[in-house]
C-alpha cells in the first residue's frame, strides 16, 4: 500500500511539473533554503546535485550545435547561481552551529573537500581556493563578460543591416514570406539572447566575489563562535573552522568554475550550426603540416640533455605518426581524384576494352536552345553543387517562384553548366543561348553593399554589384557582423548571382514569353472564363497578335497578371483594329488603375510632369509617320531634361511620371526606355478619374 502511495505521489509531482508548477517550486525551494535550517545529509545531497547540474550544463554547451539552440541558458545560469548562494548560506549556518563537533559536522561532502582534496592542510586549502578564485574571477569570468558585452553590442548594431538584407532577399524572391518571417524572428532571438548573456555574465562575476567574502565571513565567524561560545583554544578553533570554511568554499567554487567555463565556451562560439568536437578536430588537429612541425619541435626538445626525454620523445613520435597517416590519406585522395577521369576501361581478362562504336547521327543530336542559361567557372561549381553545400540552386528556385508571381507567367528553368573557357571565378548569363551579362565573384568571400547610410570603410577587395553596378567590397566571412554594425548590407555569393539573375529576367521577360507560354496562360484562364478565351482566339485575334500585345506590356514593365482584364480589352478592341500597337494602348487604358498603383502605390496623389505645348506639338508631328524621327539635338536635350526630372523626383523619394497625350505616349516611351529607365510615361486616358494629380513641373 505504501509503495502504491509513493508511486501515486511521484506521478502527482511529475504531473504538477508538467503543468507549469516546476519552475515556481524550484525558485521557492531555493529561497526557502536561505531561511530553513538543513541537516547535514540534506546538504550532502544538494552539494552533489549542484556539482551534477554544473557538469550537465557544461556538457550541454559542448554538444549544442549553435548558441541560439540554448536560449534558456541565461535562466539556467541564474538558477544555478541562486542554488550555489543558497547552499553557501545553508552550509554557513550549519558550520557555525555544529562546527565544534568536528570536520563532519557540516556533512561528508564538505569534509571530503576539506580533508581529501587538500590533504587536511588548511594552508594548502587557502592557496588552492585562492588559485581557483583567481582563475574563475580574473580569467574566465572577466573574459566571458567582455565577449558577451562586445557580442551583444555588435549584434544590436547589426540588426538594421540584417533586417535590410532579409527584405532584399524577400524582394528578390530568394525567400518566401514564411522564411523571411522566420529569419526576422531569428534575428530578434539572437539580439535578445546575447543581450541576456551580457547581463547574465554579471551573475558569475558577483558569485565569485560572494564566494571570497563568504569564505572570510566563515573564518571570522567560526573563530568567534568557537572561542567565545564553545571555549575552544585559538589553534583548535582555527584548525576546525578554517578547514570547514575552505571545504565549503571549494565545494561551491568547483561548480562555479564549471558554469563559468560553460558561459565562456557558449559566447565565444560561432553563430552558425556546427558540432564543437568535429570543428575542433578538423580545424586544430586537421592540418598534417602543423602536427609535423609540432612533432619536430618536441623531438628536438626531447634530445636536449636534462629534459624529460621519454615524455617529449614519446609525444613527438605520436604526433609524427598521426601527421604521416593524415598526409598519406590526403595523397591517396588526390591520386584517386587525378586518376579517375583517365583510367581506361578493362575487359574480363584485364586488357584495355575496345572503344565503343560511334553511333550514327540523328535529329536528337540537335538539341533545343535553353531559354535561360547560367555558365560558371570551375571555382564556382561548389555554389551550384548541393552535395558540397551549394545554395545557388535553392536560391534560383526562389527567384523563379517570386518572379512568376510578380510578372504573371511561369519563368522557365535555368540550365546550369560549367564552362572552362570562363575565368575560374566568373559566370555568364544567357537568354536563348545569347550571353547577356558576365561577372566575377569571390566564392570564399561576401559582398558588402553601402545602402547610402554606411559609416566608414571596410578592408577587402573592391568590386561592383553585378546586378546594379553599385560600388561594393568583398570581405571575409568573419567581417560580416562588423560590416552590418557599420550599416552595410552583406550578401553571400549565391545571393549575388541569384539577384543578378532576377534583375536580368525582369529585363528580358518579353523574350521569355512565347507562343507556348501564352497558350498555357490562356488554358489556365479558360478554367474560370472559357467563353472569354473562346471569343479571344482564334475568333477575334490570332495567337501571334495576343503574344505581341503581352510582349509589348512586358517591354513597358507591366506585369501580365491581370490576364482576364487584358483579354476583355482585346476582345472589345479587336473588331476595330488588329494592330498590336493600338491593342496595347487599349489594354493600357483598361489597366490604368493597376499601372498607376504599380507606380505610386497607395499614395493619394500622383506627381506628374507635363510637356510644353510647343514640344508636345513637335512630338505629335514626328509621330504621324511610322515612328519618332526627332532631330538629334532636340532628342539629346529632351533626354537631358527628362533625366533632370528623374533626379529631382528621386531626391524627393517620389516616382517620376510624365503625362502626355495618347498618340505621343508610345513614341516617347520608346525614346526614353533605355536612357531614362526609371521614368514612367502615361497617357491622359490611363489615369483613373478619382486619382488626384500634382503638377510638379513642365518639360520644355
CA distances from 481 to 155, 158, 450, 489 (A): 7, 6, 14, 10
Higher pLDDT, 659 or 153: 659
Average pLDDT over residues 303-321: 82
39-53, 211-225, 419-433, 627-641: which has the minimum mean pLDDT? 627-641
pLDDT at 102: 63
Examine the pLDDT at 553 and tell me if it is beyond 90.
yes
Q: Band of the pLDDT at 485, cuts 50, 70, 90?
A: confident
pLDDT for 471 beyond 80: yes
Cis ω on the peptide bond leading into residue 538 (within 30° of 0)? yes
653: confidence class by pLDDT, cuts 50, 70, 90:
confident
The residues near 302 (Cβ < 8 Å, ≥ 6 apart) are 308, 309, 311, 312, 313, 316
CA nearest neighbour of 159 among 118, 192, 136, 131? 192
What is the number of residues in the chain? 700
**pLDDT attached to residue 2:** 47
> Percent of the chain, pLDDT > 70?
85
pLDDT at position 591: 92
Q: What confidence category does residue 22 fall into, taking pLDDT thresholds of 50, 70 and 90?
A: low
Residue 9 — very low, low, confident or very high, per pLDDT cuts 50/70/90? low
Residues 6+ apart with CB under 8 A from 546: 518, 522, 536, 537, 570
Give CA–CA dist 679/665, Å, rounded: 12
Indicate if the pLDDT at residue 564 is higher than 60.
Answer: yes
Q: What is the pLDDT of residue 1?
A: 43
Lowest mean pLDDT among 266-275, 428-437, 562-571: 266-275
Of 101-110, 346-355, 455-464, give the lowest mean pLDDT range.
Answer: 346-355
Q: Residue 504: in which H helix or E strand, if any?
A: helix 493-507
Using 50, 70 and 90 to split pLDDT, how confident is the model at 627? very low
Q: Is pLDDT at 388 greater than 70 in this prediction?
A: yes
Mean pLDDT of 153-179: 73
Mean pLDDT of the chain: 80
Closest among 549, 510, 557 to 655, alpha carbons compared? 557
Mean pLDDT of 258-278: 71
**pLDDT per residue as tens digits for the range 173-188:** 677 778 888 888 888 8
The rounded distance, in Å, linking the Cα atoms of 69 and 201 is 18
Amino acid at each position: 500500500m505504501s509503495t502504491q502511495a509513493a508511486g501515486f505521489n511521484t506521478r502527482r509531482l511529475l504531473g504538477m511539473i508538467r503543468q507549469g508548477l516546476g519552475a515556481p517550486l524550484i525558485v521557492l525551494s531555493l529561497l526557502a533554503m536561505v531561511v530553513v535550517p538543513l541537516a547535514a545529509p540534506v546538504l550532502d545531497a544538494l552539494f552533489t546535485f549542484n556539482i551534477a547540474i554544473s557538469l550537465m550544463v557544461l556538457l550541454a554547451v559542448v554538444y549544442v550545435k549553435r548558441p541560439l539552440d540554448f536560449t534558456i541558458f541565461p535562466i539556467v545560469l541564474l538558477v544555478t547561481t541562486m542554488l550555489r548562494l543558497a547552499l553557501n548560506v545553508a552550509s554557513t549556518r550549519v558550520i557555525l552551529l555544529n562546527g565544534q563537533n568536528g570536520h563532519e559536522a557540516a556533512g561528508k561532502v564538505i569534509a571530503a573537500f576539506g580533508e581529501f582534496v587538500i590533504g587536511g592542510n588548511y594552508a594548502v586549502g587557502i592557496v588552492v581556493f585562492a588559485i581557483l578564485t583567481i582563475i574563475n574571477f580574473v580569467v574566465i569570468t572577466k573574459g566571458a563578460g567582455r565577449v558577451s558585452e562586445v557580442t551583444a553590442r555588435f549584434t544590436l548594431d547589426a540588426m538594421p543591416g540584417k533586417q535590410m538584407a532579409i527584405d532584399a532577399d524577400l524582394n528578390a524572391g530568394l525567400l518566401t514570406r514564411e522564411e523571411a518571417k522566420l529569419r526576422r524572428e531569428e534575428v530578434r532571438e539572437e539580439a535578445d539572447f546575447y543581450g541576456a548573456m551580457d547581463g547574465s555574465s554579471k551573475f558569475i562575476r558577483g558569485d565569485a566575489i560572494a564566494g571570497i567574502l563568504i569564505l572570510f565571513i566563515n573564518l571570522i565567524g567560526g573563530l568567534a563562535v568557537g572561542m567565545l561560545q564553545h571555549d575552544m583554544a585559538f589553534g583548535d578553533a582555527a584548525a576546525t573552522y578554517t578547514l570547514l570554511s575552505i571545504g565549503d568554499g571549494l565545494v561551491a567554487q568547483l561548480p562555479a568554475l564549471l558554469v563559468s567555463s560553460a558561459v565562456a565556451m557558449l559566447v565565444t562560439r560561432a553563430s552558425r550550426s556546427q558540432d564543437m568536437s568535429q570543428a575542433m578536430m578538423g580545424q586544430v588537429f586537421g592540418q598534417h603540416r602543423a602536427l609535423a612541425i609540432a612533432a619536430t619541435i618536441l623531438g628536438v626538445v626531447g634530445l636536449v640533455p636534462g629534459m624529460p626525454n621519454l615524455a617529449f620523445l614519446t609525444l613527438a613520435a605520436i604526433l609524427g605518426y598521426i601527421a604521416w597517416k593524415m598526409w598519406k590519406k590526403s595523397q591517396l585522395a588526390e591520386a584517386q581524384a587525378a586518376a579517375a577521369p583517365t583510367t581506361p576501361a578493362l575487359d574480363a581478362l584485364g586488357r584495355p576494352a575496345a572503344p565503343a562504336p560511334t553511333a550514327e547521327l540523328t535529329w536528337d543530336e540537335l538539341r533545343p536552345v535553353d531559354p535561360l542559361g547560367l555558365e560558371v567557372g570551375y571555382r564556382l561549381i561548389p555554389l551550384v553543387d548541393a552535395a558540397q553545400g551549394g545554395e545557388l540552386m535553392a536560391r534560383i528556385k526562389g527567384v523563379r517562384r517570386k518572379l512568376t508571381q510578380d510578372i504573371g507567367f511561369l519563368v522557365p528553368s535555368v540550365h546550369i553548366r560549367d564552362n572552362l573557357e570562363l575565368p575560374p571565378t566568373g559566370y555568364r548569363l544567357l537568354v536563348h543561348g545569347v550571353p547577356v551579362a558576365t561577372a566575377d565573384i569571390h566564392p570564399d568571400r561576401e559582398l558588402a553593399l553601402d545602402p547610402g547610410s554606411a559609416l566608414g570603410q571596410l578592408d577587402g577587395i573592391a568590386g561592383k554589384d553585378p546586378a546594379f553596378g553599385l560600388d561594393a567590397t568583398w570581405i571575409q566571412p568573419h567581417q560580416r557582423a562588423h560590416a552590418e554594425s557599420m550599416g552595410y548590407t552583406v550578401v553571400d555569393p549565391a545571393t549575388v548571382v541569384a539577384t543578378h539573375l532576377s534583375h536580368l529576367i525582369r529585363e528580358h521577360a518579353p523574350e521569355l514569353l512565347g507562343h507556348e507560354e501564352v497558350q498555357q496562360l490562356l488554358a489556365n484562364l479558360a478554367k474560370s472564363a472559357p467563353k472569354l478565351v473562346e471569343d479571344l482566339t482564334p475568333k477575334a485575334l490570332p495567337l501571334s497578335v495576343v503574344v505581341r500585345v503581352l510582349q509589348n506590356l512586358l517591354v513597358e514593365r507591366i506585369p501580365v497578371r491581370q490576364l482576364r482584364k487584358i483579354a476583355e480589352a482585346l476582345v472589345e478592341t479587336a473588331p476595330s483594329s488588329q494592330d498590336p500597337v493600338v491593342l496595347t494602348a487599349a489594354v493600357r487604358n483598361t489597366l490604368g488603375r493597376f499601372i498607376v498603383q504599380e507606380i505610386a502605390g497607395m499614395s493619394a496623389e500622383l506627381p506628374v510632369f507635363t510637356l510644353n505645348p510647343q514640344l508636345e506639338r513637335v512630338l505629335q508631328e514626328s509621330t504621324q509617320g511610322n515612328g519618332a524621327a526627332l532631330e538629334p539635338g532636340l532628342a539629346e536635350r529632351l533626354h537631358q531634361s527628362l533625366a533632370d526630372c528623374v533626379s529631382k523626383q528621386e531626391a524627393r523619394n517620389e516616382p517620376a511620371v510624365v503625362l502626355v497625350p495618347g498618340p505621343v505616349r508610345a513614341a516617347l516611351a520608346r525614346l526614353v526606355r533605355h536612357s531614362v529607365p526609371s521614368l514612367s510615361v502615361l497617357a491622359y486616358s490611363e489615369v483613373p478619374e478619382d486619382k488626384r494629380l500634382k503638377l510638379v513641373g513642365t518639360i520644355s
